[in-house]
Amino acid sequence: SSESEESSSDDQEDEISSCDEDVEAKELEESETTKACEVNANSAEDKKPEEPILESDFKKTNCTSSKEKLEVQPATYVHVERTPEIQESRLLLPILAEEQEIMEAVKEHLIIIVCGQTGSGKTTQVPQFLFEAGFAKDGIIGITEPRRVAAVSMSKRVATEMNLSTNIVSYQIRYENNVTSETSIKFMTDGVLTRELKEDFLLSKYSVIILDEAHERTSNTDVLIGLLSRIVPLRKKKGNPLKLIIMSATLRIEDFTKNERLFKTSPPVVKIDVRQFPVTVHFNKKTPISDDDITCPYLDEAYRKICKIHRTLPSGGILVFVTGRQEVHALMRKLNSKFPKKNNEARNQEKSKLQVLNLDNYEAKPRDDLEEDDRTRRLDLSEDEDGSSGDELMMEDDALTSEMDSSIPLHVLPLYSLLSSEKQRQVFAPVPEGTRLCVVATNVAETSLTIPGIKYVVDTGKVKRKLYDKITGVSSFRVTWVSKASANQRAGRAGRTEPGHAYRLYSSAVFQDFDEFDKPEIETKPVAGLVLQMKSMKIDRVINFPFPTPPPHEALESAEKLLISLGAIRVLLNRGTLKEMKQAQFSGTITDLGHRISAFPVHPRFGKMITMATKHIDIIPYVITVVAGLTVREIFFTPSHDPDNDANEEQNRQLRARLSHLKSLWSSVGGGPERKLLGDLMVLLGAIGSAEYSGATPSFCVSNCLRPKAIIEVRKLRAQLTGIVRSSLGLDDVIIDPKMEPPSDEQVRLLRKIVLSGLGDHVARKISMEEIPSERRKEWKGAYQSLLLDEPVFIHPESVLSRDPLPTYVIFQDLMEALSGKKSYIRDISSIEPEWLAHFCPHYCHFSKPLDLPEPRYDVTTDQVKCHVTASYGRLSWSLGAVEID
Ligand code: CDP
Ligand code: MG
C-alpha cells in the first residue's frame, strides 16, 4: 500500500522473509520515509498563492534554449572571509579548478549540469561560488538533497566554511528549519521544494535552484527537473530569470541531456576531473551458484576472499558489499570469530551478552565454535581471471593452513541504513593501532558515504531490492545482480587514497549480462502520491509531463484508478471515441476531497483516512497515530532467526516471545471486544500510546522491542499531521498531546471503518473450507482471497490476527510475496464487516435498484434505502446482501 515511502522492516523467520529492513535503497536511516510529500512549514503563510499555471501553459511554453546567451550581468562579487585552514582544505578539492568554467557556464546559460564524483566538492562549493558571484542578491540560492540528514549537515558545513551564521546559510527539512529572513543559501530536501511549488509555482524567491545528487534519480528530483524545465523559461519571460544547476556524481546524464521533451537543446555539462587512483579489477573465474538466494553462497565466497586478503596482502582497509542487514551480521560474526578482536574488547562484548535488550549490543559477537575449516578450502589463484595483480595472493597462501590464526586483528564494522547514525559514523573513526579495517556494508557505501583508507573492495555483485508489481502494487524482495554502473562504483571505492584492488565474486561473463544502470525510482515504484501532487498543481495530463524517464504506463493507470476510487480525482467521461475515452482515463482532475487529501504529506490512502475522520473530532488523534505509525513503518524491532549463532538465537527467541506477548497486550489495551478486531492497527496504537506515556525514552523503547528512532519519527509526524488538520481543515479543537487515552469500543469501531475508506482494494475474504479443492486443504489452511492476486494469500504470522478464529473479512496494508516466491503474505491486518464496503468504498460496489420490501423501503428518518449490494473488482464479486445505504 505505502507507495511514497521507503523500505524498512525486520528480518523474518525462514521463508517468510517478507520484510524490508534489509533493503538498502541507497538510503541512510535518516532518509525520508515519505519523501514524496513534504510540507513547507515555513513559507506557506507569508505568500499569496500564485495564479495557477495551467496545463495549457505547459504546452505553450517553449523549452529552454540553453545555448541562448543572456546578457552577462556584471555580478557584484561578494567577499567571503574564510579561515586559513578552510581556505587550505578547499584548495585541495578538485572542483576548485573548475570554478571559472562553472561560473561562466552559469552566466551564459539558464540551465547547466555539473558532473563530478562524490567528494569532488560539488555540494559544499557550488553554492559558495554562486554566493561570491552575487547570486544571493537577487534571491535565495536553493539546494535540494534527497536526504534530510544531508540537507542539515551540508548547510552547517557550508556555514562553517563561509564563516557565516546559520541565519544566512540555513536548511529546511520535513519537520524543522532554521530559515530566517536573512537566509541566502538554503539547503532543503527535494520534497520540501516540491511542496513549495504548490504555493509558488514560479519559485519567485529563488535566484538559483541546485538539484543535488540528481544521479540518485529519486522520484522527487526527477519531477523537479521536469517542472523546472518549464519554470525556467517562464521566469525568463517574466524578466526575472532563474538559474538551474543539475549536479550528478555520475556521468549518466543522457536522460537529461538527450531528452528533447525535457530540454530542446542539451544543457552544457561541466565535468570535474577527480584524481582517482587506479583500481585493478579481478573477476572470479566462476560465479558461486545462487539459484536459491536464501542460502547466500556469495557470503561464503566473500568470507573466504576477505580471509585471503587479510592474511596475504599489504595493509589497507577492506570494504565488502553484501545485500542486507542480516547478511552483514552473518558475515561479521564469521570474521570476528576468525580474527578475534583484542582480548579486553572481546570480554566487553561478552559482558554485553547480559544486556539482551540493548540493541546497541545486539551485534556480532565472537564465537568459539568455528565450523569453517580453511584447510579444506585452499584458495588458488586461478580464481582471479585476469591474474594481473593478484600475485600477492599466492605468496602466503600457506598461511591459510594454520588453524590458529596469527594475523593481526580485523577491525570489523557494519554499515547499513537502519544502523544508528552513531554506529554509522564509526567507520570514519581512526582504526585501532595494529588492526586492519574491514567494513561490511550494503550498497549504502556505494555512493552515499566515502570511507577513508579503503584499498580492497570485495563485491558480491548482489543487491536486495524491493520490487513492486506495476499494476497491483504487490511487493516482493529479490536478491538480484547489481548494474554495471553500481559494480563500477563499488570498485571505485578502492581507489580513493591510493591504488587499490576490487575483487568481484563473479565472472566477467556474468558481468557482461548486468544491466548498464539501475532503474530510476520513478520506474519501479507506485506513483499514486506523485500523481496526486502533480494534479494538485494542475498538471492533469501527467502522461504528457516531461519526466526525465516516464513512469510505466501501467503504473500511471493504476495510480489514476486508485485516486478515482479514493474520490481524489474525477474523470469527466464525455461521449467520444474509444481513444478519447482511454485518454480521459489519464486526465482526471483533482476534486475538493483530493485537495484536502493532498495537503497531507503521506500516501493518498492515508490522507483519505484523515479527511474521513474530520466529522468525528475525537477520533482524529487515533487516525493520525495509525497513519503516522504506518507511514514511518518498522516501529518494532523484530529479532531475526539466526542459524549461525546459538547464543544469539536464544536471545532472539526470547525477544520474539516478548514481542509477541507485548503485541497481544497492546492489541487489547484497555479491554473491550472491539479492540481485537482492529488487529495490528490496535497494536500500533497501543505501542505508540504506551511509549508516549513512558516519555518514549530509548530504554523504554528498546526493552519493549520498539525502535527509538521510529517512535520519535512517529511523534514528529503526528505533530505535523495534527498541525495540518488544524490549519487546513480549520479544526482547532484537535488535541496535540502525544499522549492519548486508549480509544473506546465505539471509537475503535469507527476507526475500522475509516481505515477501510482508504483501503477499498486491500480487502481479503477468508476462503471457506468448502471452497478449497480437497487436495489443497492442508496447504490452503487459513487462506484468503485478495483482490490483487489470483492465488490465495495468508495473514503474516507476525499479525495478532493470524491466530484462530480467523476473521472473515480483513483489510491489509501490505501484500508481499515471500523471498522464496512460494507464498504471499498480507500484513498489518484489521477485520472489517463487509456491509461497510457499501458506505466507505462505494466505488467498488454495485448497487441494485432499491429493494421492494414489504415494509416501507424508504426510511424517511435516516434517508436510507435498502439495496442488494455486490462488491465487484473486475472478475471478482462478492455479494454483500441487502444493505441500507444513504
Ligand atoms: O558533493 P560532493 O560529493 O562532490 O563533495 P562535498 O560533499 O562538497 O565534499 C567535499 C569535501 O568536503 C569532501 O572531501 C568531504 O570530506 C568534505 N566535507 C567535510 O569535511 N565535512 C562535511 N560536513 C562535508 C564535507
Ligand atoms: Mg554532494
Instruction: Write out pLDDT tens, residues 151-177.
Output: 999 999 999 999 999 999 999 999 999
Q: How many CB atoms lie within 10 A of CB 608?
A: 29
Ligand 2 centroid–CA 35 distance in Å is: 18
pLDDT digits (tens, 9 = 90+) for 519-541: 999 999 999 999 999 999 999 99
Q: Virtual CA dihedral for 570, 575, 577, 578, nearest 10 degrees? A: 50
Ligand 1 centroid–CA 121 distance in Å is: 6
Q: Which atom of ligand 1 is nearest to the CA of 153?
A: 23
**Which residues contact residue 598 at a Cβ distance below 8 angstroms, ignoring those fewer than 6 apart?**
37, 532, 533, 535, 536, 568, 590, 604, 607
Residue 84, preceding peptide bond in cis (omega within 30° of 0): no
SS3 state at 329: helix
- For residue 126, the ligand closest to its alpha carbon is 1
- For residue 152, the ligand closest to its alpha carbon is 1
d(CA 159, CA 156): 5
Ligand 2 centroid–CA 522 distance in Å is: 21
For ligand 1, whether the C-beta of 127 sits within 6 Å is: no
Rounded to two decimals, the ipTM of the complex is 0.98
d(CA 737, CA 718): 10
**Which residues contact residue 857 at a Cβ distance below 8 angstroms, ignoring those fewer than 6 apart?**
850, 851, 865, 866
Q: Nearest Cα to 821, choosing from 7, 17, 2, 11?
A: 17
Ligand 2 centroid–CA 553 distance in Å is: 32
**Among the listed ranges 149-153, 628-632, 768-772, 867-871, which one has the minimum average pLDDT value?**
867-871
pLDDT band at 36; cut points 50, 70, 90:
very low
Q: How many CB atoms lie within 10 A of CB 784?
A: 24
For ligand 1, whether the C-beta of 94 sits within 6 Å is: no
Angle (deg, nearest 10), helices 604-612 and 745-757 = 140
Q: Which atom of ligand 1 is nearest to the CA of 156?
A: 23
**Which residues contact residue 734 at a Cβ distance below 8 angstroms, ignoring those fewer than 6 apart?**
617, 620, 621, 722, 725, 726
For ligand 1, whether the C-beta of 215 sits within 6 Å is: no
d(CA 380, CA 398): 11
Which residue's CA is the nearest one to ligand 1's atom 22?
A: 157
d(CA 193, CA 214): 14
Ligand 2 centroid–CA 249 distance in Å is: 8
- In DSSP notation, 69-117 reads ------PPP------HHHHHHHHTSGGGGGHHHHHHHHHH-SEEEEE--
pLDDT at 459: 96
Ligand 1 centroid–CA 738 distance in Å is: 38
Q: Which atom of ligand 1 is nearest to the CA of 213?
A: 1
For ligand 1, whether the C-beta of 121 sits within 6 Å is: yes
Q: Note residues around ion ligand 2 (Cβ under 5 angstroms).
A: 122-123
For ligand 1, whether the C-beta of 119 sits within 6 Å is: yes
Ligand 2 centroid–CA 502 distance in Å is: 24
Q: Which atom of ligand 1 is nearest to the CA of 117?
A: 4
pLDDT band at 886; cut points 50, 70, 90:
low
For ligand 1, whether the C-beta of 118 sits within 6 Å is: yes
Ligand 1 centroid–CA 112 distance in Å is: 21
**Among the listed ranges 193-197, 385-389, 823-827, 859-863, which one has the minimum average pLDDT value?**
385-389
Which residue's CA is the nearest one to ligand 1's atom 23?
A: 157
pLDDT band at 349; cut points 50, 70, 90:
very low
For ligand 1, whether the C-beta of 250 sits within 6 Å is: no
For ligand 1, whether the C-beta of 160 sits within 6 Å is: no
Q: Nearest Cα to 337, choosing from 361, 370, 309?
A: 370
- In the predicted model, is pLDDT for residue 724 greater than 80? yes
Q: Which atom of ligand 1 is nearest to the CA of 212?
A: 1
Give residue 544's Cα distance to chain centre. Answer: 26
Q: What is the mean pLDDT of the chain?
A: 80
Most confident of 496-505, 737-746, 853-862: 496-505
d(CA 212, CA 214): 5
d(CA 72, CA 64): 17
Ligand 1 centroid–CA 459 distance in Å is: 25
pLDDT digits (tens, 9 = 90+) for 761-788: 899 999 988 888 888 888 899 999 988 8
Q: Which atom of ligand 1 is nearest to the CA of 124?
A: 8
Which residue's CA is the nearest one to ligand 1's atom 20?
A: 157
pLDDT at 875: 64
In single-letter form, the type of residue at position 353 comes to K
pLDDT at 656: 84
Ligand 2 centroid–CA 221 distance in Å is: 14
d(CA 841, CA 878): 13
C-alpha cell at 221: 528530483
Which residue's CA is the nearest one to ligand 1's atom 13?
A: 119
d(CA 457, CA 445): 11
pLDDT digits (tens, 9 = 90+) for 283-305: 998 877 655 444 568 889 999 99
Contact (Cβ atoms closer than 8 angstroms) between residue 17 and residue 477: yes
For ligand 1, whether the C-beta of 349 sits within 6 Å is: no
d(CA 604, CA 606): 5
Give residue 253's Cα distance to chain centre. Answer: 23
For ligand 1, whether the C-beta of 157 sits within 6 Å is: yes
Average confidence (pLDDT) over 781-797: 91
pLDDT at 27: 36
- In the predicted model, is pLDDT for residue 135 greater than 90? yes
Ligand 2 centroid–CA 156 distance in Å is: 14
pLDDT at 551: 95
Q: What is the CA radius of gyration of the chain?
A: 29
For ligand 1, whether the C-beta of 461 sits within 6 Å is: no
- In the predicted model, is pLDDT for residue 127 greater than 50? yes
Q: Nearest Cα to 814, choosing from 802, 824, 828?
A: 828
For ligand 1, whether the C-beta of 123 sits within 6 Å is: yes
d(CA 463, CA 322): 7
pLDDT at 252: 85
Which residue's CA is the nearest one to ligand 1's atom 7?
A: 123
Q: In whole angstroms, how far apart are CA 195 and each of 26, 127, 146?
A: 23, 22, 14
**Among the listed ranges 336-345, 529-538, 709-718, which one has the minimum average pLDDT value?**
336-345
pLDDT digits (tens, 9 = 90+) for 243-287: 999 999 888 899 999 999 999 899 999 999 887 789 999 999 887
Q: Nearest Cα to 867, choosing from 885, 879, 855?
A: 885
Which of the two residues, 138 and 822, has the higher pLDDT score?
138
Contact (Cβ atoms closer than 8 angstroms) between residue 340 and residue 346: yes
- In the predicted model, is pLDDT for residue 880 greater than 60? yes
Q: Which atom of ligand 1 is nearest to the CA of 116?
A: 4
C-alpha cell at 328: 552483514
Share of the chain above pLDDT 90, in %: 51
- For residue 213, the ligand closest to its alpha carbon is 2
pLDDT digits (tens, 9 = 90+) for 607-623: 999 999 988 889 999 99
Which residue's CA is the nearest one to ligand 1's atom 15?
A: 119
Ligand 1 pocket mutation, candidates 124, 154, 497, criterion most atoms within 8 A of CB: 124
d(CA 258, CA 54): 26
- For residue 157, the ligand closest to its alpha carbon is 1
- For residue 114, the ligand closest to its alpha carbon is 1
Give residue 194's Cα distance to chain centre. Answer: 17
- For residue 450, the ligand closest to its alpha carbon is 1
Ligand 2 centroid–CA 212 distance in Å is: 7
- In DSSP notation, 145-181 reads ESSHHHHHHHHHHHHHHHT--TTTEEEE-SS-B---T
- For residue 215, the ligand closest to its alpha carbon is 2
- In the predicted model, is pLDDT for residue 45 greater than 50? no
